[in-house]
Amino acid sequence: MRTSDGWPARLHVVTGKGGTGKTTVAAALALALAEGGRRSLLVEVEGRQGIAPLFDTGPLPYQELAVATRPGGGEVRALAVDPEEALLEYLDMFYKLGMAGKALKKFGAIDFATTIAPGMRDVLVTGKVKEATTRTENGRRVYDAVILDAPPTGRIGRFLNVTAETARLAKMGPIKTQSEGVAAFLRSPMTAVHVVTLLEEMPVQETADAIDELSALRISVGKVIVNAGQPALLPTGKVSQGELRRGLVAAGLPADRDTVAGLHAEASAYLTRRTVEEGLRAELVALDQPMVELPYLPGGVDLAGLDLLAAALNPPDHPDTLG
Amino acid sequence: MMPPHLDVDAILADPGVRIVVCCGSGGVGKTTTAAALGLRAAEQHGRRTVVLTIDPARRLAQSLGLSELDNTPRQVKLDGAGSAAMAGRAGAGELHAMMLDMKRTFDEVVLTHTDPRRAEEIFANPFYQAMSSTFSGTQEYMAMEKLGQLHARNEWDLIVVDTPPSRSALDFLDAPARLARFLDGRMLRVFLAPARAGGRSMFNLVTASFGMFSRVLTKVIGGQLLSDLSGFVAALDSMFGGFRARSEQTYRILQAPETAFLVVAVPEPDAIREAGYFAGRLAQERMPLHGLILNRVHAVAASALSEAESLAGAEALDRSGDQTAADALRVHAALARQVAREAAVAAGFTEEHPGVPVAPVPAQPADVHDIEGLREIGATLTN
């Protein structure tokens, strides 16, 4: 079995408040964990098709397709889980239903299970993720790592706990067995939940809340991933219009009043932001979880940007040993 | 191509507009926007306004006087500072705010549509307990239910709704139709069959496909779970009619001219993609989309300096040891790059939906969590 030193779990659930870039971070982690000839699977579960544009591909089907390769034979595959397909597949796999699946559809049962019955969708999706993570072929695991672009922090507890809840409701029978299996898997050392945050007030608050909630559910929290960190500039924390004017003149740039004042306003806003960020960083440190920081990419995230984030998640100067 | 400008004040002032729905993906500032719109409607347009929030940030909730989830609108104390423009005009507005309590709303629905004895039975059912508090998806139904309730009370000039941070921003729109489809469906009859047949099993039912369906269902779900579930659905049966009528009515209200949808986004690809999806879907459902509120738009202040010359200048200053000016130029270069990217991302939306008006809101260096901050946002929104 090959696992990763810095990222010991096999299923990496990536959550975070909406807008923190959890899909981007999940994609970068999938690249990082495909280094050294390994194979990772990046899974999307909310029907948002957020992965495809990151890898410049068309909409992902309900199939595990290669979206990126790494030097040394590594490969990232991606899968968009569709609850309806997952249900039919599940029925077919466990009950050999064939035509009966169509009868279920006709009676609105598929509709019921995937949209009406709140929570059923999450049961199906987490079940599919467990299946992919534990799947073997010729005695070895198909994936070295599975990375789940999970629902946001506000729903992550409910999402991951839904199988435990279902197992409680179904006192016996196949649903209970299946749900208990998934619930136990999500609480095993095979699974870790990583929380992506920005150095902004609400994402940091939700990070703390999610860690509390997950701990109470006995689901293990992996890392806090601070996304889009600003570079540490202006270390003295002070800037005057006079020094800016002298600098602009020395650099041969326009040094008119508006430009100096504008540059000063921008630098001041940056410093205000940085002071807020430092306070928030201290709050995150106090959570006492391993923390990784990813740089802000002002030009947006393209494939080169993803590589950069992947390298920051799994620094090449400390390469994972294949164990 | 420049989009038309969204006149937010015209919407807030229009007595024909009774509901403003703020929708968009998570993390774009929907709740803050909804609160700022509500405040402005009350202070500047003299409207008796209620803001229905789903899951506000703690400090924002506190600033609105919402210290706990209590599921009823509370009046927000306003210091009058923002109402200066109202001086001399009659009928100052009021701002009320509430936070949605999903479980309590569900309980209220049950109590409204069924007798107390039945209600007790439903409250005790483990399925009901799980569904009303644990499972995701219920929030969307309940947000729409609460909107229907507030509208039916007819106490407010304007209801501003913040929508749940759904997996898809559209879940709340789909909730009523889904419910109706389910209530019309044969699935429901299957669950009801054993209860209605006085405990006899559903397998006495005749048609071949129905029989096959029942067998499949028992095999997959298990007999015990199926009979529990059937009991739950039967207990709820008496209230379905009312619940359904209400959700269909809410859906029609959303289509009416008294409703204004505002899509909220930030100039980032994910949020803009969701906003575009939403705009398309609202058009399809014939729901009145009034415009896009684009939060957190950055701008450069030193517009004479390009990104490239700033970076070159920073390198030159590094060599001469002028760290501060070099860093300030780097801050500017990164900002200029971000501004260019944001403009390109926002242009993508306008290309796709050229007729949709846009109101940009400048990015603030620090978070907003007091009435004064909301007031400022309201002012920049309508600038």
CATH of the domain at A72: 3.40.50.300
Q: Do B209 and A202 touch (CB under 8 A)?
A: no
Which contacts of B313-317 are long-range, i.e. CB under 8 A and separated by 24 or more positions?
Answer: B313/A247, B313/A248, B313/A251, B313/A252, B313/A253, B314/A251, B316/A250, B316/A251, B316/A252, B317/A247, B317/A250, B317/A251
Q: What is the DSSP letter of B135?
A: S
A256 assigned to some structural domain:
no
Q: Do A112 and B187 touch (CB under 8 A)?
A: yes
| A 31-60 residues with CB < 8 A to B | 46-48, 50, 53
Rounded distance between C-alpha atoms, residue A300 and residue B341, angstroms: 7
A276 assigned to some structural domain:
no
- Single-letter residue type at B282: L
Residues of A in contact with B58 (CB under 8 A): 205
| A 126-165 residues with CB < 8 A to B | 151-152, 154-155, 158-159, 161-162, 165
Confirm or reject contact between A270 and chain B (CB < 8 A).
yes
> Which two tokens mark B112?
């409204």
Confirm or reject contact between A17 and chain B (CB < 8 A).
yes
Closest Cβ opposite residue A234 in set B178, B309, B328: B328
Q: Do A172 and B270 touch (CB under 8 A)?
A: no
Please list, in sequence order, all residues whose beta carbon lies within 8 angstroms of the beta carbon of residue A128, skipping any fewer than 6 positions away: A81, A86, A89, A90
Q: Do B313 and A115 touch (CB under 8 A)?
A: no
Q: Do B327 and A95 touch (CB under 8 A)?
A: no
Closest Cβ opposite residue A259 in set B26, B212, B305: B305
Tell me how far the alpha carbon of residue A27 is from its chain's centroid.
7
What residue has token string 């001399």? B88
Closest Cβ opposite residue B134 in set A19, A119, A253: A119
Confirm or reject contact between A111 and chain B (CB < 8 A).
yes
Measure in Å the smallest separation between the Cα of B127 and chain A Cα atoms: 7
Measure in Å the smallest separation between the Cα of A44 and chain B Cα atoms: 11
Residues of A in contact with B213 (CB under 8 A): 100, 103-104, 106-107, 109
Name which of B176, B337, B312, B350 is nearest B248 in CA terms. B176
Q: At residue B170, what are phi and psi to the nearest 5 degrees?
A: -95, -10
Name which of B190, B224, B180 is nearest A107 in CA terms. B190
Among A20, A82, A112, A230, the strongest candidate for a mutation testing the B interface, having the largest count of B CBs within 10 A, is A112
Q: Which pLDDT does position B45 carry in this prediction? A: 94
Name which of A280, A295, A287, A286 is nearest A204 in CA terms. A280
Q: Do B135 and A267 touch (CB under 8 A)?
A: no
Among chain A residues, CA nearest to B341 = A299
Q: Which pLDDT does position B102 carry in this prediction? A: 83
Confirm or reject contact between A98 and chain B (CB < 8 A).
no
Rounded distance between C-alpha atoms, residue B331 and residue A239, angstroms: 12
What residue has token string 């801050």? B331
Residues of A in contact with B25 (CB under 8 A): 18-19
Q: Do B322 and A174 touch (CB under 8 A)?
A: no
User: Containing domain of residue A293, as a range?
Assistant: 11-231+288-313
Rounded distance between C-alpha atoms, residue B367 and residue B353, angstroms: 30
What residue has token string 């040993």? A321
A194 assigned to some structural domain:
yes
**Cα B26–B32–B34 angle (5° rounding)?**
95
Q: Which pLDDT does position B132 carry in this prediction? A: 73
Q: Do B313 and A252 touch (CB under 8 A)?
A: yes
Q: What is the mean pLDDT of each run of 10 residues along chain B (383 residues)?
A: 93 97 89 94 95 79 73 84 52 86 86 86 79 67 86 94 69 67 64 52 46 64 68 70 76 92 94 90 91 96 97 96 96 96 96 95 83 92 83
Q: Do B187 and A267 touch (CB under 8 A)?
A: no
Measure in Å the smallest separation between the Cα of A183 and chain B Cα atoms: 15
Task: Give the orientation angle of helix A303-313 with respect to helix A22-32, to 10 degrees.
Answer: 70
Measure in Å the smallest separation between the Cα of A123 and chain B Cα atoms: 10
Q: At residue A316, what are phi and psi to the nearest 5 degrees?
A: -70, -20
Closest Cβ opposite residue B55 in set A46, A154, A161: A154
Confirm or reject contact between A242 and chain B (CB < 8 A).
no
Closest Cβ opposite residue B187 in set A109, A231, A267: A109
Residues recorded for chain B: 383
DSSP letter string, B321-378:
T-HHHHHHHHHHHHHHHHHHHHHHHHHHHHHHSTT--EEEEE--SS---SHHHHHHHH
Residues of B in contact with A165 (CB under 8 A): 130, 134-135
Low-confidence ranges of chain A (pLDDT < 50): 1-4, 318-323
CATH superfamily assigned to domain B8-304+331-381? P-loop containing nucleotide triphosphate hydrolases (3.40.50.300)
The number of domains in chain A is 1
> Which two tokens mark A70?
């790494």
Measure in Å the smallest separation between the Cα of A228 and chain B Cα atoms: 12
Closest Cβ opposite residue A239 in set B185, B324, B341: B324
Residues recorded for chain A: 323
Residues of B in contact with A231 (CB under 8 A): 330, 334
Measure in Å the smallest separation between the Cα of A256 and chain B Cα atoms: 9
In this structure, the strands spanning A74-80 and A140-141 are unpaired
Confirm or reject contact between A305 and chain B (CB < 8 A).
no
Measure in Å the smallest separation between the Cα of A195 and chain B Cα atoms: 15
Closest Cβ opposite residue A103 in set B216, B325, B337: B216
Rounded distance between C-alpha atoms, residue B339 and residue A267, angstroms: 16
Measure in Å the smallest separation between the Cα of A271 and chain B Cα atoms: 9
Residues of B in contact with A20 (CB under 8 A): 27
| A 202-241 residues with CB < 8 A to B | 202-203, 205, 231, 233-236, 238-239
Q: Do A200 and B225 touch (CB under 8 A)?
A: no
Q: Do A122 and B269 touch (CB under 8 A)?
A: no
Q: Which pLDDT does position B184 carry in this prediction? A: 64
Closest Cβ opposite residue A118 in set B131, B220, B304: B131
